[in-house]
Structure 1
Amino acid sequence: MEVFAAYLESIDNPQHRARTEEVLDWVTKEFPTLMPVMKWNQPMFTDHGTYIIGFSTAKHHLAVAPEKAGIIHFSVEIVQAGYEHSQQLVRFLWDRPVDFSLLKKMIEYNISDKADCSTFWRK
């Protein structure tokens, strides 16, 4: 989590900082083989040099970005869980609990789907 320390410190709202830290810590513990990295000023996790999932903070939500393929694959579940999404990210509202089971599925999907991927992003 050291790699994310400066990012977390830059989050002014203490509740948003705590939630973001909770999620990043959960990913680190749940998926210890993923590499935590900062790219484009955002915390991300990679596997064998390929992007798995990234996060960023906004005024009303924590943005979770499993790439477009992850959004498409889980679109119905995302909506059923009560989240909104765009083509590139899911909005986890600050005032609602995080659906860690959905987050786990998205990460597991990307790890599996990108097992043979040799680039950072899907092509």
Structure 2
Amino acid sequence: MHDKIKAAEVFEKYLSRIENETHRVRMREVLEWTKTRFPGLEPKIAWNQPVFTDHGTFIIGFSAAKQHFSVAPEPAAIRKFSREIQASGYSQGTNLFRIRWEEPVDYALLERIIEYNRQDKADCSAFWRK
């Protein structure tokens, strides 16, 4: 329970800045799902956005925009899951993919991406992949 309270506290200031209440609720749901599904990840704010780390290494970040929210798992994960990201209907760039506010979140895909990063970076001592 302590971890969930901590996650909510860590992200509350960020969430309070999302003016559209529907978007704020949606972002809160995604962040809470991430923390609940992966309780070992540490929630923090970096570059003014919510991120989750594991043993000091970046796992995934999220950010809200007007038309969508971005999911940033690092380029290696984008490359590995590119076809699945596209099949889910999301647009993508080198470092992130975008989920329009009105689109459903493919939580199964999100789970695979996070699990991939956790396993792939298990022995990583740097914040970013080299």
Cα deviations across residues 63-101 of structure 1 (Å, max 9, x unaligned)?
Answer: 000000010000000001111100011101101111100
> 1:33: which partner in 2?
40
- Alignment root-mean-square deviation, CA: 0.5
AA aligned to 1:84 is: S
SS at match of 1:23: helix
Q: Following superposition of structure 1 onto structure 2, how do residues 38-117 of structure 1 map, counting pairs within 5 Å? A: 38-117=45-124
Distance of 1:5 and 1:80 partners within structure 2: 32
Distance of 1:81 and 1:71 partners within structure 2: 13
Q: CA deviation at 1:9?
A: 0.4
Distance of 1:76 and 1:59 partners within structure 2: 25
AA aligned to 1:48 is: H
Q: CA deviation at 1:24?
A: 0.1
Distance of 2:67 and 2:74 partners within structure 1: 21
Distance of 2:47 and 2:100 partners within structure 1: 22
Distance of 2:110 and 2:69 partners within structure 1: 12
Distance of 2:112 and 2:67 partners within structure 1: 23
Q: Runs of 4+ in structure 1 displaced over 6 angstroms?
A: none
Distance of 1:86 and 1:16 partners within structure 2: 22
Distance of 2:88 and 2:104 partners within structure 1: 11
Distance of 1:121 and 1:16 partners within structure 2: 29
Aligned residues: 123
Q: CA deviation at 1:42?
A: 0.6
Please, what TM-score do these two structures have when normalized by structure 1?
0.99
Q: Gaps (5+ residues) in structure 1?
A: none
> 1:119: which partner in 2?
126
